[in-house]
Each structure stands twice: as structure tokens, then as C-alpha cells.
Structure 1
């Protein structure tokens, strides 16, 4: 029931504002005001959204908390969306959200109501040799839903020119000769075609 209340009250407020402002300045100026608000909202979403993305990227590069730029960027996008929605009240709220001090106040109020109860990540070796400390030295433990998929990490390198002499039968390079009589360049010896 409470979720439906804004959808009932908001159109009534918008209609009342259209009637009051239209009576003061006229119908055509009110329509022009709503259209200008929509154009400004699209512009805000385009430019401020790109700026918020740059602020987020800069925060990530400088190893700062990206939460603040993300929250400000989200509020700016909401402000642009409210300005696009036809209505005088929603446009006024959107304009208020464009003021950085108002956004900071809203974010402080929201942060005061958020309570973090706990979080964590763990990883544990389930098989194989344990370290000298008896477990993974980093202290990781597998979290819920973690499964060992049998993946083995490793490194490899492609060796274009094998060390001489190449032992016969270990690689397929004896069967494929390059233009100079030696092994063909690019054959690493791992596959046989």
C-alpha cells in the first residue's frame, strides 16, 4: 500500500502545479519550461554521466574508495531522469539533486541509516601439499559455494629456436624442415600435426 502512495500523490501534485503555474505565466510558457527541462535533463545525463564515470575511473586508479563517485554519479543520473520526466515538481527535485551540497547531505543521511553487519572472503587448500605453516600462508579459506574445478595454474613459453642439439624423437621438428634445412620457425614441439 505504501509503495503505491507516491504514484497516486505525484500526479496530483504535478497537475496542481501545472494549473497554478499555468495560471500565473500562461500555458505556452509552462509547456516550453517542461520541454526545456527535458532537454536539460538529457544534457545532464550525457555530460555529468561521463564526468561521473571519469571520477570513478580516477578513484580506482588512485586506489581511493570508489563509493563516493559512484553514489554522486547515481544521484546525478537520477537528477537528469527526473528532469526528463514531464512535470514541474520532478524537474525541481532534479535541479536540487544537481547541487553537490544537496547530494552530499542526502548521502550522509543514507550512510547514517546503513549498518554493516559483517563480510568476509576465505579460501583454503583442499588437497595437495600444505605449506610449512600447515595451511595456505595467505590464510585464505574457501567461501560457501566454492568448488575446486581441477584447474592447474602454470606458465609456458614458445621456443622458436630449440637448443642444439635437438634430441631425436622428442619433438616433431625432424619431420618438418624449414627453408634452411633446420626446424621450421614457430614450432614449439608441443604439438604434432
Structure 2
């Protein structure tokens, strides 16, 4: 029930914030430059996502071939995936968050939050880990 409240809030708040961002940037740069900026950040973000995604997959394969668990790589892959989704959405706020998720220097911040969230879920028993 709580999750659906957050989802509904995000469904209304995120577009409103993005619209305000468009209005502010368009007022400063003009509508054509704002549109070009949105398209440019989406293209650059998509290319970064592809490059970083391939790198994460390659590192994961290397870890698995060496017999190590690619735990950090899996979290990095999750960050790159969600960052890519945010970069596809038009808007400046989602682009900023998406870039920080895809960019390797800022990704450890999110990885730390993910690790804490997974640890909390495992302690509560709401997150199960199946091992073969």
C-alpha cells in the first residue's frame, strides 16, 4: 500500500518538476536551444549507457570465469540500467540523476544505498537470495 502511494506521488511530482525545469531553461536559453539540449543529453546519455553497460557485462564475465561472484558488477549493471531508463525520459532532473547513475565515478554512491537497502531487506526477510 505504501509503495503505491510513492508511485502515485512520483507519477505527478516528476513530470511537474520536469515541466518547471523546461520552462525555466526555455526562458533562459529559448525553446529551440532547450529542445536541442534535451535531445543532445539523451543521445550522449544513451551512448554512455551502451558503453558502460558493455563494460559492466565484460567485467562480470571476467569475474565469473575466474570463479568469483560478480556482486558489485551486478549492482553496477542495475545502476547503468536504471540510469539509462532515466536518460531516455525527457527532462533535466531525470537526465542529471541518470548521468550520475551511469557515470562510473558517481555510481559508488548509489551502490552504497543499494547495498544498505538489500541488507535491510534480507534482515527483514522480505528479500530472499537463492543459491544454486
Instruction: Give, in whole Å, the separation in 1 of the partners of 2:130 and 2:70.
Output: 19
1:98 is displaced (CA, Å) by 2.6
Unaligned runs of 5+ in 2: none
Deviation readout 1:80-139 (Å, 9 max, x if unpaired): 221121111111111121333432122222222324358787xxxxxxxxxxxxxxxxxx
Aligned residues: 122
Q: Which 4+ stretches in 1 moved above 4 angstroms?
A: 117-121
**1:85 aligns to 2:69 (yes or no):** no
What SS does the aligned partner of 2:19 have? helix
1:44 is displaced (CA, Å) by 2.2
Asked which structure has the greater CA Rg, the reply is 1
Instruction: Give, in whole Å, the separation in 2 of the partners of 1:96 and 1:58.
Output: 25
1:11 is displaced (CA, Å) by 0.6
Instruction: Give, in whole Å, the separation in 2 of the partners of 1:54 and 1:120.
Output: 24
Paired residue for 2:63?
A: 59
How has the CA–CA distance of structure 1 residues 62 and 5 changed in structure 2, closer, same or farther, with 3 Å as cutoff?
same
What SS does the aligned partner of 1:3 have? helix
How has the CA–CA distance of structure 1 residues 50 and 100 changed in structure 2, closer, same or farther, with 3 Å as cutoff?
closer
* Contact 1:41–1:82 (CA under 8 A) maintained in structure 2: no
Instruction: Give, in whole Å, the separation in 2 of the partners of 1:32 and 1:90.
Output: 16
Instruction: Give, in whole Å, the separation in 2 of the partners of 1:37 and 1:44.
Output: 10
How has the CA–CA distance of structure 1 residues 54 and 88 changed in structure 2, closer, same or farther, with 3 Å as cutoff?
same
> RMSD across aligned C-alpha pairs, in angstroms?
2.2
TM score, norm. by length of structure 2: 0.80
Asked which structure has the greater RCO (Cα within 8 Å, sep 6+), the reply is 2
Q: Give the number of the structure whose residues are more often helix, by fraction.
A: 2
TM score, norm. by length of structure 1: 0.57
Unaligned runs of 5+ in 1: 122-193
